[in-house]
Amino acid sequence: MNNKDKYKELVQSIKDDEEMVKEQNRFDATLEQTKETHALLQKSLDVTKEANDNNTAIQKGLNAATKSADNIITRICAAIVKAENTPIKANLDEKSIQQLKELHDKWLEQEKQMLADCFKQQEVLWQKQSHRLTDIVRNNEGVWLSQRLFYIVSIISLLSIITIIIEIFTYVCL
């Protein structure tokens, strides 16, 4: 072998070594990424296990709360049935009846007084309104329509309202 071939072989060997170093570096980088991914997956697995344990504990708590609520409802229903079936005995002696009558009479007097006060207030309001209407008529205030004119204006107003309703209805439908 001559020097030139040795040189080519040496250069080729160096190139192969460099290529091997590059491949080794790529392999090391891939290995590092794989290790990081594995660590992340392990963390995710740990978090998932912890969440699963928490969900199990929550499920047990919910089951206990459900049973407790069912027991409460059952006991309330039983208490209602028991209360419905309980006989009530009431005895009124003469003193209790007399007290009841006195309370009733007192209440009745209060109601009569309240009605009398209400009637007095209404009478005062009616008198004020009557004086006001008398003043309006005396001073010729307000609008006065004859009965015939009132009916004509009322009919025209009613027909106008009906026409507007029909127009709105046809507009909405069409």
Classify residue 84 by burial, with Cβ atoms within 10 Å: 0-12, 13-18, 19+.
exposed
Do 153 and 145 meet the contact criterion of CB atoms below 8 Å apart? yes
Domain housing 3: 1-87
Which amino acid is located at 39 in the chain? A
In a domain, 153, yes or no: yes
112 and 47, same structural domain?
no
116 and 135, same structural domain?
yes
Residue-wise pLDDT tens for the chain (174 aa)? 677 777 788 888 888 888 888 888 888 888 889 889 898 889 888 888 888 888 888 888 888 888 888 888 888 888 888 888 878 777 778 888 899 899 999 999 999 999 999 999 999 999 999 998 888 878 877 677 788 888 898 999 999 999 999 999 888 887
53 and 27, same structural domain?
yes
Distance (Å, whole) CA 4 – CA 16: 18
The per-residue pLDDT for 135 is 84
Written as six digits, the tokens of 2 are 């001559």
74 and 6, same structural domain?
yes
36 and 111, same structural domain?
no
Question: How many domains, the chain?
Answer: 3
In a domain, 95, yes or no: no
